[in-house]
């Protein structure tokens, strides 16, 4: 596996832990974190070039971080591994209109 992929895995888990700490300290609610992550996902997917120039798998790659962190936020306290969260991202993602 590429070292940068491992670094990204660590980063995602670290951000999930920071999100958890923000909730625990009462600075943000899970709902606020979820809304922020959904906005990030839509921003990544909403750029004009995304729908025209990217394959569905590339769009999924752009949205992966936000989707993984949303699942971590939903399952707070589970301490799910990166592998488990990534598997759940694949199981829960929808299809794009041009895939049908």
Note the Cα 66 to chain centre separation in Å: 2
pLDDT tens string 38-64: 999 988 888 655 566 778 888 888 889
Res 21: pLDDT = 95
**Residue 100 pLDDT more than 60?**
no
The enclosing H or E element of 47 equals none
Domain ranges within the chain, ordered by starting residue: 3-93
Quick check: helix, strand or coil at residue 4? helix
Residues contacting 41, CB < 8 A, separation 6+: 63, 66, 67, 70
Res 50: pLDDT = 53
pLDDT tens string 1-14: 677 788 999 999 99
């Amino acid at each position: 596996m590429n070292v940068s992929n491992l670094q990204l895995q660590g980063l995602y888990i670290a951000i999930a832990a920071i999100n958890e700490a923000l909730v625990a300290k009462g600075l943000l609610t899970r709902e606020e974190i979820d809304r922020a992550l959904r906005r990030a996902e839509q921003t990544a997917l909403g750029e004009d070039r995304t729908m025209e120039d990217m394959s569905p798998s590339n769009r999924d790659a752009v949205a992966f971080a936000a989707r993984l962190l949303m699942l971590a936020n939903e399952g707070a306290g589970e301490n799910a591994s990166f592998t488990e969260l990534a598997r759940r991202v694949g199981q829960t993602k929808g299809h794009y209109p041009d895939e049908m």
